[in-house]
Amino acid sequence: MRPCRGRRRRRGHELYRAPRRSSSLDSLVVTHPFHPLVGQALPVLFSARTRQGLRFTCELDGGKRRITLPQEWTDRGPEASPSRLGVEGLAAARVVVDAVAARRTTRAEDPA
């Protein structure tokens, strides 16, 4: 009996290999406010639909590294909601929360 050497192919039936592209025809801009690459345009290698939504795989450092980004973090995602807080809004909310917490602490310490 011969040992199995993997799947055998018939003569003339080679695996299809897509040619590698040296340059990307498409790019996107990272728009997530807390992402380190915010504002940068990245070449898109391919996109894939997953359970979590559409994801884009982009190249970095001239093709040395790859990064996968959800659609919502790019200029291809939906427009940001006007009620969504940015960095300034979150900082202001933190000030309010700290003030309320300090007020509750002083009330708990004062037996009235």
User: What are the per-10-residue average pLDDT scores of the chain (112 residues)?
Assistant: 56 51 70 92 94 94 92 86 75 92 80 61
Q: Give CA–CA dist 20/18, Å, rounded.
A: 6
In this predicted structure, what is the pLDDT of residue 66?
95
pTM for the predicted model, two decimal places: 0.53
User: What residues does 56 pair with on adjacent strands?
Assistant: 47, 69
Contact (Cβ atoms closer than 8 angstroms) between residue 41 and residue 62: no
Please report which helix (H) or strand (E) contains residue 97, including its range: helix 87-109
In this predicted structure, what is the pLDDT of residue 77?
84
**Burial degree of 98 (CB within 10 A; 0-12, 13-18, 19+):** exposed
